[in-house]
Amino acid sequence: MQKIASLAKVFSDINRLYIFALVLRDKEICVCEICDTLNLSQPLVSRHLRQMREANILQAIQKGKWAVYSLAKDTDLALNCWIDEISRKLSELPKLVACIR
């Protein structure tokens, strides 16, 4: 039950839903791509990403100067339900604004 409550809290914010959907669609994404695609500030995006990392939804890998985010390797059944539902809406996402890495 704790995991379900944690996921509900993370996904209760529309910006976190959009960020998660971008990561789900594009597999790996850096902070600047999220900021530019969703027109959100870097501090706000970083705060959302931290919350998703702490909930074990996303993981970060350092690639040079950039942190690249992807889905956590070990997803459980509760997260898979969110993934299935959000996957149905991926076509509604804006085109990714790619940064130069």
Pick from 87, 80, 97, 89: which is nearest to 7 by CA? 80
Is 25 inside a domain boundary?
A: yes
Is 43 inside a domain boundary?
A: yes
Q: How many helices (H) and strands (E) does the chain have?
A: 5, 3
Is 101 inside a domain boundary?
A: no
Is 59 inside a domain boundary?
A: yes
Is 28 inside a domain boundary?
A: yes
Q: Could you write out the DSSP letters of every residue in 53-69?
A: HHTTSEEEEEETTEEEE
Is 62 inside a domain boundary?
A: yes
Give residue for tokens 């890495």.
Answer: 101
Mean pLDDT of 3-20: 88
pTM of the model: 0.85
Dump pLDDT digits (tens) for 45-72. 999 999 999 988 999 999 888 889 999 9
The fraction of the chain above a pLDDT of 70, given in percent, is 97
The CATH number given to whatever domain includes residue 84 is 1.10.10.10
- Please count the residues of the chain: 101
